[in-house]
Structures are given as C-alpha cells and as structure tokens.
Amino acid sequence: MGSLFEKAPETQYGSLVGLMAFGVPVLLHAVVPSVKRYSHLFHSTDGCSRANLVLRAALTTVLGRCMAWQHGAYADVVWRAVSDAGLYNALLVVRLMGAGRPSAVADIHLGRIEMGAHDAIIPSGHTPPLDSSAWPLLLKNYSQLNVRSGHYTPIPSGHTPLRRPLQEYIRYGVINLDKPSNPSSHEVVAWIKRILRVEKTGHSGTLDPKVTGNLIVCVDRATRLVKSQQGAGKEYVAVARLHSKVEGGVAKVARAIETLTGALFQRPPLISAVKRQLRIRTIYQSKLIEYDEERNLAVFWVSCEAGTYVRTLCVHLGLLLGVGGHMQELRRVRSGIMGERDSMATMHDVLDAQWMFDNLSDEAYLRRVVMPLEALLTTYKRVVVKDSAVNALCYGAKLMVPGLLRYESGIEVDEEVVLMTTKGEAIAVAIAQMTTSIMATCDHGCVAKVKRVIMERDTYPRRWGLGPMAQKKKLLVAAGKLDKFGRPNEGTPQEYLRALNGQGLKTPAAGSELAGQEEPAIKEERGDVSEEKKKKKKRKLEVKKF
C-alpha cells in the first residue's frame, strides 16, 4: 500500500482501481491499520496535483466506510463528514478513529460540517421516468397519456376507487357473479339487493334459469353502466347432444361448428320469454373442445354478439350434420370485459362477506367480492378532467378545452370515452367532439358531450361561475349590457359576443325581444300541463280508493 503514494500522478488512477479490486475484506485488514501511518499525507495539500486531490477524496470515502463498519456508532458522523465541502472534517474523523480514539469524534463541531455540506436542491432539466404500469384501474399507464396542461388546483374531495369508504365503495361497486343453476337472473339480483341492503341493482344480460356462469351485477350508481354491458359481446361453453352417430366423426363435427360463424338467422326458441321474430345475430368465433362419439356429446366454445341464442345454435348444428340435436348444458364464461378468472364470486361469497362485516366488522372479504365500477371502463379511452370541472360535468355540462388535463391517443369524433378525475374516479361516459390532434392544437371548443353521468352530484364542490368569462358576464349583467338571464341585448359589446362564438356557445341575436316575450307563455303552458298531470294523478288515486 505504501507504493501507492510513491508513484507518479499519471499512474495513480490505475493503482487506485487495482486497490478497489481487492474487495471489502482486504480493505478492512489492510487499509484500517495504515490510517495512522499515512495520516500526514492528508494534511499536506500544498502543491498537490489534481490527481492527488481526486485520489485523496476517493481514499477518504473508502476509509470512511471502513471506519463506519468498525465503529457503527459513528457511522452517521463519518457520512456527514465525507462531502466535497467537508473534506478536512472527514479526514479528521478518519484519523481519530484510526488512532484508536473514537471518543474524540464527539468533540468535532457538527455545525461546521452541516454548514459546509451541499444540502440545497440543485436545479436540473432531467425528469426521472414515472412507472405507472402497475397503477390500478383507470390510472394504469397514466404517465403515457398526452398532456394538455399540468396546471390545476387539487380539491380535497372524492376518493381513489380502491380507497373509498365502505358504504360509498359498495354504492359504486359491481359483482362478477357466478350465477347458480335454477334461479332466474332477476331472482339472483333481488337476493343480492336484499343481502347488501342497497337501493337498486341490475345485471348485464339475462341468463336462463338452468344456465350458469358469468353475470355482472351492478349496485346503485353502477346501474348506469348496465346498458353498455348488456350490449357487449359474450362467450359461452355449451354441451350439445346429437340425436345419432355422426359418420364423419370428430373432424366433421369440428368443421360444422367452425362453419357456424358470421351473420346467422335466428328465431328465439319456444321456451323464450321474448317475441319469436326472425333476427340476425353475429357469431365471431367458435371451436370444438371435445367430442364423445359413444354418447354423441359435443362440447364447444363460441364467442358471439349479445342476444344470441346458443340453444338455437345447437339445433342448427344438428341440422347441419343431418342427425338433429339440442342443447344439453350451457355456461357463460365471459360477459363484456369480465371473465371467469376476473375475481368471480358466488352467492355464498356475497352472503358470507356481508355476515363477516355485520358480526366481525371485517370489510376485507366484502371489498374482495365487490369491485369498483371503474373495472368495467378500462377498455374505454380516457380523458382526464380538472377537479374544478367535475361537478359541472355531473350536472350535464359539456367538457370544454380549458377543463382538459390529459387525453389518450387515437380518439375519434363520436367515439365513446370515459371522463375521469386525477384520482382515477369515473365521472361520466361521454361522446368525443374532437380528435386527439385537435385537442392538442385548439384553445377553445367542446371536447366531449356527456352521454351518461356516473358520479353523484356535489361529490366535488361547485366551481362554475368563478372563471374570467363568468365574472365578465356578471359585470355586464350589472351594467345592463346583458339581460337578467345573461342573454345579449342591444348594448352587448361585440368583443363579448365574439368570445362566446369562439368557445362554441350559441348566442341569440342582440335585441331579440320576441324571444323574451314568448318564453313566459311557454312557461305558463308547461305549468298548465303539470297541473293537468297532477289532476289526473288525483283522479287515479280516488278511483283506487273506491
């Protein structure tokens, strides 16, 4: 080790690398005993080259680590001392420890070390990447969304979907239920409503009483998504019984099943509760899973459009094979986005989870059975909204460009998108009025129109009427340049009208007195209609009493 300091400065870097290669055990046995021997080198800084300074700083760090490992009580002091500005103090700490006087470390003035250290935040243009691939539900890959603006005021309202209070969690929940055989879908949904003690429930598509499998049950606010789930595609596994042996065997049955794809004519079976009209349904894909030649049973999988009757499909399969057939058993394995492996629960799970919460105050089981409604919207393209615009959307307002934060790529006009908060809550299902490229370039205009509101009103505080245009409107109303309803009149400035037109808002013609005179009459007519309805209701009640 002594030869390390005797070499020329040009070769000291290579010697240092060689010293590091010995590893931690060698440093502990070789470096620590030599601290006292080479301590004079730490004080002789006059006339040293840059190589000596770099070497001295690196060696100080190594010695500091060794001292910290040997004297764990002084590790914090060593690490505070080892810095660019506090190099002398670091050397002093190392020297005292190497001399066998660790108690003298306490005499060092730590304030001097703290003042010499670089504790300030250094500005940098580098932004570390944010990995949002593991974030839940609608927040997944949030960092990959296109950014319209990053400036907004967070409002301490609402909750992330997985951390809602339990009562609110259930009200915004869905259950991926494994429907049992024999009870109807409506009976099962009514039982869940009674077990969970909620106001209303709905399901994603009727299953016949004997059919088992996937049935999405929506609770309270989630029932607003029932229509969208009823129209989603379905997947089934069916068992068809053929009336006699097929001569071609398995190959012929497989070909026949694959033939039954595309648009097919279907008439509902006799036992169906709907009107038996001829209709067209699309079979997306079908394949044979197993065929038992001895018992003439065929098990096949089919992916089809909502409203397809698999019972009729089995009859058509028998006709196509020339032997006749009917459906023996049926199970739905997927409904829309939810499948058998997506947190499916049974009726026993629902009952046991509610019992555990009522008797043991354990809500973990209930949170596993019930999922947030956002799980049904993960396939929609996302539009992130400012917190100040959330309540206006809950009242049915359009989403304008100033309320936009982030948006997904590939959005087209008239495409259904989900409006969400920065916490990942679903606000509404909306119809896009702009493409992704227009959202990135426009400063005014309507981004999306609300189709179905999901979030309850006043979950977030009211923030409309506080913006610059609203304040200007109030001033114009007070000055008499707008009427009391905020409509333009003869004194309305043209700049204000142009600003409204630029935002895509309809402005009635200035000085339109006829429109102002007609409105009270319309209100009176509406009032008359409402009075007539009340009278009819009273008559009906009187008739019922008698």
Nearest-Å Rg of the Cα atoms of the chain is 37
**Helix H or strand E segment including 160:** none
Instruction: Give the catalytic positions in this structure.
Output: 208
Secondary structure letter of residue 406 according to DSSP: E
CB atoms within 10 A of CB 328: 15
User: Do 316 and 240 contact (CB within 8 A), yes or no?
Assistant: no
User: Do 369 and 441 contact (CB within 8 A), yes or no?
Assistant: no
Read off the amino acid at residue 186.
H
| Burial class for 63, CB neighbours closer than 10 Å (0-12, 13-18, 19+) | buried
Token code pair at residue 1: 């080790």
Distances (CA, A) of 217 to 204, 214, 305, 346: 7, 10, 20, 12
Q: Is 121 helix (H, G, I), strand (E, B) or coil?
A: coil
Token code pair at residue 284: 């997306």
Distances (CA, A) of 541 to 527, 528, 531, 546: 21, 20, 15, 9
| Exposed e or buried b per residue across 258-285, where buried means at least 16 C-beta atoms within 10 angstroms of its C-beta | eebbeebebebbeeeeeeeeeeebebee
Task: Give the whole-angstrom CA distance, residue 494 versus residue 179.
Answer: 63
Token code pair at residue 174: 């869905």
User: Do 219 and 175 contact (CB within 8 A), yes or no?
Assistant: yes
Sheet holding 426-432, edge to edge: 146-147, 404-407, 381-385, 416-420, 426-432, 446-453, 399-400
CB atoms within 10 A of CB 341: 9
Task: Give the whole-angstrom CA distance, residue 307 versus residue 321.
Answer: 24
Task: Give the whole-angstrom CA distance, residue 59 versus residue 290.
Answer: 73
User: Do 329 and 240 contact (CB within 8 A), yes or no?
Assistant: no
How many CA atoms, within 13 angstroms, populate the side-chain half-sphere of residue 194? 7
Place of tokens 């997306």: 284
